[in-house]
DNA sequence: GAGCACTGC
């Protein structure tokens, strides 16, 4: 080694210059001047290697970021406080720079700790980590890494700056309730108020009291900072300090309509065509609420734009209209990055690109070159009704914050315009300031189990940023108690602790853990994975009949759940072939995801020594799968009332119908469902024929008939119970009566 | 005879 002239040279250099770049750095007492000197140093302070030319080039650009100018102010605040709230608008560079500043001050590598920065989305965690590794002149996955589900790009003992999804940090907290590995935790995009961010905020506030050495930074883009400041204040009257950085975007001029628009889709189409005729070149982004609306609008825009071009080719250029929503295959999503069409003739008017998108373009996807935004002011939002335990999507007015975010999409490359299809008066007076946080809008059974596993005992009095409705918490506790994840005092049970380790809804976790008792854990594992990914059925508008025929061939007559198992098994037998998927009108992407989820769940099962077994008798196996479903989903059963395909959910007495996508070839008396969806009517989706006696036998606590409301369901169950009790030796699980087997179509 | 805002583990 000593013969290496390069090393010798470096050694000499080191001796002659200021030697160690971090010399004199006192953890958490570091000054801006010191950091700037270290950044300009010849050697990388963390790898000791000389900085590359690329590093210097990037550094020069970083120095121009707004946040860079305020490094001294930030470092002083970081030294003096345990918790900081930071507001940085788009383009401030907060996500890439602040974690680096923190690293230089905190020096986590000297104490075997890490700095974490959370993101609500996986792509963001990955791409920001990659960028920061470049900026710090290190290899991604070494000093700087990321951690997301299915991919841990970090090196234990080496990585000291880690970007991760908020959900991933929450998972870690379940087995390390003080998050001891971290010296500083940065929650980015806190204004988005994802479920995981909200839970983490509550958790971190609590941990901060126990761990004086832990520093916390809450980063947010909008002006709801005061709420966070107050929440994280040390006492009732004090607030956490605010660090504020201006953004760097172009101005966006906002226009409102004079009168409210009765039909926002029609108004949006009209506005797009108006822009196309009258405004300077530049692409348009239109926000609508869902797939159908978007596809429909795209067709109409295309038709009308073609008309305009035909009428007046000298003044109207060509226009392409591109739909954008999450269920679109990635290849088609990529089309939004295609350049606008060129002019028809060299001297003709230039072309224009229009992207018609859901909210996905508000946060998740950024399209450069957008100059005009058309904002009708609506989006689909999840709402939860705890009374009937149903989550549904409702087209609702957006918040002011959301409208601001949408407008900002027009100013990324140059000054832009935003056309709001509502009045200024409505904007000022009718729109909420912020979008309702997710924790107030959804079923919390998963979250409640997580909180209990995290050691929070009193869920009602837990210090939430926004407390969920007590009824929502009660519903969650009730479900968890029926599933035996909680005892009657509300304490988490041993079973509940294992359930919480699975990245699944409690019903699925319970079913999976219990499945070895029914000797079908291989099958339940597959079904659980299939239920954890988006819809696997592909039904192109131009091949509906073919798709339905293909689905019929894959269907198992008495269970949609078994159909999912069948699809996965055939996919497996065809060696995970995407072509097989394509030919059978199932989504190869969803199947590949299911495969991934299945592997992850299997590893968790192995960790808890949950056996993977299958009965060899196929008929018995399938029956046992249907019984195992009852172990998790006994609260999601409907009973047929009358002959018209009308069902009533047990106990809740909601009128429901089998969803049209249901593959059952009859209308069984008892149906277990995976999902209750409220669209044009209440439907139950992904259904399995089950038997009344199984309910009484396998879920006797819930099917305690004294707790049942009067009605046909109760009377039927009473008859079954009577028959059962009349028999010597109790329940028979033997063959079904022949009459029930008769199918009608 | 209909859907699928968007994320995340």
Residue nearest to nucleotide B2 (CA to C1'): A660
pLDDT in tens, A476-527: 999 999 999 999 999 999 999 999 999 999 999 999 999 999 999 999 999 9
Q: Which nucleotide does the CA of A195 lie closest to, via C1'?
A: B8
Measured between alpha carbons, how far is A627 from A617 in angstroms, rounded to an integer?
15
Q: What Å value separates CA A418 and C1' B5?
A: 21
Residues A539, A585 contacting (CB under 8 angstroms): yes
Whether A449 has a pLDDT exceeding 90, the answer reads yes
Q: Is the CB of A544 under 7 A from strand B?
A: yes
Residues 6+ apart with CB under 8 A from A102: A78, A115, A184, A186, A215, A217
Measured between alpha carbons, how far is A566 from A515 in angstroms, rounded to an integer?
18
pLDDT in tens, A595-627: 999 999 999 999 999 999 999 999 999 999 999
Q: Is the CB of A661 under 7 A from strand B?
A: yes
Q: Which nucleotide does the CA of A661 lie closest to, via C1'?
A: B2
Q: Is the CB of A175 under 7 A from strand B?
A: no
Q: What Å value separates CA A195 and C1' B9?
A: 12
Q: Which nucleotide does the CA of A166 lie closest to, via C1'?
A: B8
Whether A17 has a pLDDT exceeding 60, the answer reads no
Q: What Å value separates CA A660 and C1' B2?
A: 6
- A564 φψ region: left (φ > 0), alpha (ψ -120 to 50), beta (else): alpha
First-residue to last-residue Cα distance in chain A = 82
Q: Which nucleotide does the CA of A171 lie closest to, via C1'?
A: B9
Q: What Å value separates CA A412 and C1' B7?
A: 24
Q: Is the CB of A318 under 7 A from strand B?
A: no
Whether A666 has a pLDDT exceeding 60, the answer reads yes
Of A residues 130-149, those with CB within 7 angstroms of nucleic strand B are 148-149
pLDDT in tens, A391-401: 888 889 999 98
Whether A628 has a pLDDT exceeding 90, the answer reads yes
Q: What Å value separates CA A551 and C1' B1?
A: 15
Of A residues 667-686, those with CB within 7 angstroms of nucleic strand B are 677, 679-681
Distance, C-alpha A186 to centroid of its chain: 19
Which of A390, A403, A446 has its CA nearest to residue A682? Answer: A390
Whether A135 has a pLDDT exceeding 90, the answer reads yes
Q: What Å value separates CA A660 and C1' B3?
A: 10
Mean pLDDT of A102-108: 96
Mean pLDDT of A672-689: 91
Distance, C-alpha A281 to centroid of its chain: 35
To the nearest 10 degrees (0 to 180), the angle between helices A560-573 and A521-531 is 100
Q: What letters, b where the CB count within 10 A reaches 16 and e where it falls short, cover A113-136?
A: bbbbbbbbbbebbbebbbbbbbbb
Average pLDDT, chain A: 90
Q: Greatest CA separation found in chain A?
A: 97
Measured between alpha carbons, how far is A54 from A137 in angstroms, rounded to an integer?
8
Question: Hey, is A370 helix, strand or coil?
Answer: strand
What local confidence, expressed as pLDDT, does residue A734 receive?
Answer: 43
Residues 6+ apart with CB under 8 A from A642: none
Residue nearest to nucleotide B8 (CA to C1'): A167
More confident residue, A151 or A14: A151
Residues 6+ apart with CB under 8 A from A267: A257, A261, A376, A421
Of A residues 63-122, those with CB within 7 angstroms of nucleic strand B are 120-122
Whether A6 has a pLDDT exceeding 50, the answer reads no
β pairing state of A390-397 and A182-187: unpaired
What local confidence, expressed as pLDDT, does residue A15 receive?
Answer: 40
Nucleotides of strand B under 7 angstroms from a protein beta carbon:
1-9
Of A residues 330-369, those with CB within 7 angstroms of nucleic strand B are 358-360, 364
**Bridge partner residues of A533 (DSSP):** none
pLDDT in tens, A57-70: 999 999 999 899 99
Q: What Å value separates CA A45 and C1' B6?
A: 40
Measured between alpha carbons, how far is A62 from A69 in angstroms, rounded to an integer?
10
Q: Is the CB of A501 under 7 A from strand B?
A: no
* Whether the predicted model's global pTM rises above the 0.85 cut: yes
Residues A594, A536 contacting (CB under 8 angstroms): yes
**How many other CB atoms sit within 10 Å of the CB of residue A312?**
11
Question: Hey, is A165 helix, strand or coil?
Answer: strand
């Amino acid at each position: 080694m000593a013969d290496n002239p390069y090393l010798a040279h470096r050694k000499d250099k080191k001796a002659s210059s200021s030697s160690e770049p971090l010399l004199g750095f006192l953890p958490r007492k570091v000054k801006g001047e010191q950091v700037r000197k270290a950044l300009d140093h010849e050697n990388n302070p963390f790898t000791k290697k000389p900085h590359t030319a690329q590093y210097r080039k990037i550094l020069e650009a970083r120095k121009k970021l707004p946040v860079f100018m305020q490094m001294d102010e930030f470092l002083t605040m970081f030294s003096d406080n345990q918790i900081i709230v930071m507001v940085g608008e788009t383009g401030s560079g907060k996500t890439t720079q602040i974690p680096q500043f923190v690293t230089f001050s905190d020096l986590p590598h000297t104490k075997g700790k890490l700095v974490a920065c959370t993101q609500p989305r996986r792509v963001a965690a990955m791409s920001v980590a990659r960028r920061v590794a470049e900026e710090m002149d290190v290899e991604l996955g070494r000093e700087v890494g990321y951690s997301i589900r299915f991919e841990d790009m970090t090196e234990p003992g080496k990585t000291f700056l880690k970007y991760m999804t908020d959900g991933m940090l929450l998972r870690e907290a379940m087995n390390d309730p003080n998050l001891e590995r971290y010296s500083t935790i940065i929650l980015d995009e806190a204004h988005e108020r994802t479920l995981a961010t909200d839970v983490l905020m509550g958790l971190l506030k609590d941990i901060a009291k126990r761990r004086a050495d832990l520093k916390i930074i809450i980063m947010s883009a909008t002006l709801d900072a005061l709420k966070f400041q107050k929440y994280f204040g040390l006492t009732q009257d004090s607030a956490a300090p605010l660090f504020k950085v201006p953004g760097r975007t172009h101005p966006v001029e906002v226009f409102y309509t004079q009168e409210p628009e009765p039909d926002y889709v029609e108004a949006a189409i009209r506005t797009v065509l108006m822009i196309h005729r009258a405004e300077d070149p530049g692409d348009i982004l239109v926000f609508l609420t869902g797939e159908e609306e978007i596809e429909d609008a795209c067709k109409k825009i295309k038709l009308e734009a073609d008309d305009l071009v035909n009428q007046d080719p000298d003044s109207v250029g060509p226009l392409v209209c591109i739909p954008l929503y999450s269920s679109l295959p990635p290849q088609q999503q990529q089309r939004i990055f295609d350049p606008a069409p060129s002019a028809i003739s060299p001297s003709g008017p230039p072309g224009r690109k229009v992207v018609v998108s859901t909210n996905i373009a508000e946060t998740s996807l950024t399209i450069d070159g957008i100059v005009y935004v058309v904002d009708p002011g609506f989006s689909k939002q999840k709402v939860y009704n705890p009374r009937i335990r149903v989550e549904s999507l409702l087209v609702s007015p957006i918040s002011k914050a959301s409208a601001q975010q949408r407008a900002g999409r027009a100013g990324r490359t140059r000054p832009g315009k935003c056309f709001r299809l509502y009045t200024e008066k409505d904007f000022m007076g009718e729109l909420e300031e912020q979008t309702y946080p997710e924790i107030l809008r959804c079923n919390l059974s998963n979250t409640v189990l997580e909180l209990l596993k995290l050691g929070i005992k009193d869920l009602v009095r837990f210090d939430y940023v926004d407390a969920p409705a007590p009824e929502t918490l009660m519903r969650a506790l009730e479900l968890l108690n029926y599933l035996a994840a909680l005892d009657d005092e509300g304490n988490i049970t041993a079973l509940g602790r294992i359930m919480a380790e699975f990245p699944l809804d409690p019903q699925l976790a319970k079913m999976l853990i219990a499945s070895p008792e029914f000797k079908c854990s291989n099958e339940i594992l597959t079904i659980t994975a299939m239920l954890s990914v988006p819809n696997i059925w592909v039904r192109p508008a131009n091949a509906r009949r073919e798709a339905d025929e293909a689905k019929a061939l894959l269907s198992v007559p008495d269970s949609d759940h078994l159909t999912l198992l069948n699809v996965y098994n055939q996919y497996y037998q065809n060696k995970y072939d995407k072509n097989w998927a394509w030919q059978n009108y199932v989504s190869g992407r969803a199947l590949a995801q299911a495969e991934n989820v299945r592997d992850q769940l299997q590893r968790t099962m192995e960790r808890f020594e949950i056996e993977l077994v299958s009965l060899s008798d196929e008929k018995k196996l399938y029956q046992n799968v249907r019984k195992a479903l009852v172990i998790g989903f006994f609260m999601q059963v409907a009973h047929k009332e009358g002959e018209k395909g009308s069902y009533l959910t047990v106990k809740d007495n909601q009128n429901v119908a089998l969803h049209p996508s249901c593959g059952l070839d009859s209308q069984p008396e008892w149906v277990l469902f995976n999902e209750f969806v409220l669209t044009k009517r209440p439907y139950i989706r992904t259904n399995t024929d089950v038997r009344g006696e199984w309910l009484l036998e396998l879920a006797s606590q819930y099917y305690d008939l004294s707790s049942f409301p009067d009605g046909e369901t109760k009377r039927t169950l009473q008859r079954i119970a009577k028959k059962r009790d009349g028999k010597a030796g109790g329940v028979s699980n033997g063959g079904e009566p022949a009459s029930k087997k008769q199918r009608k179509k």
